[in-house]
Structure 1
Amino acid sequence: MTLDDLRAELTKLDHLPGDTIVVMSKDGEGNGFSPLAQVEDAMYRAETTWSGEHYLTEEQVAADPEYGEDDLAPDDAVPAVFLWPTN
């Protein structure tokens, strides 16, 4: 799903009040749920068609002295939006 796809899906929910909570599924089979706690832009590198790795953006690495060149995303990583559950 792209950000445009997500935005299109969210427009279908315009009838819901603004204080409706957002909940994430633990996995694709619904084996647990947790309230959404954070949204982040970062880098993503697919390892398979269903799994991959999260990396910081160049700006995030540069902004934090704890990170260095070794923390940069691989060249084939792409920008992505990550939705983080509470648990």
Structure 2
Amino acid sequence: MLRQLVRSDWRGLPGTTLVVLAVDAEGNGYSPFATYDHCRYAPIDDDYVGDVYPLPEELRKSRKLRELYSDGIPDSAVPALVLYPLG
């Protein structure tokens, strides 16, 4: 599935797009791929752990998201492709 996504859906992404790998709920480092999301990523304290935030267009479309992120999104947040594991 990842190979197909790279060849088709992700083909047009800018080469500078950050790819973030999420750990599963148990903290295991190895888990099958489940899904992905286009969002923004900002590191917390160091470069190896961070949070994800919605894209500007998602915020414009969703009142609930605007309320959820009413405190703002860090200036350090950059566009990212986040890969999520099963679990």
Q: CA deviation at 1:75?
A: 1.6
**Segments of 4+ in structure 1 off by > 3 A?**
24-27, 30-33
Structure 1 residue ranges without an equivalent (≥5): 1-6, 12-23
**Letter in structure 2 aligned against 1:45:** A
Structure 2 residue ranges without an equivalent (≥5): 8-20
Which residue is 1:49 aligned to?
47
Structure 2 residue matching 1:50: 3-state secondary structure: coil
Q: CA deviation at 1:55?
A: 0.7
Aligned residues: 65
The TM-score with structure 1 as length reference comes to 0.56
Structure 2 residue matching 1:43: 3-state secondary structure: strand
The TM-score with structure 2 as length reference comes to 0.56
Larger Rg: 1
Task: Kindly indicate whether structure 1 or structure 2 has the higher relative contact order, using CA contacts under 8 Å at least 6 residues apart.
Answer: 2
Across the aligned residues of Structure 1 and Structure 2, the Cα RMSD in angstroms comes to 3.2
% identical equivalent positions: 32
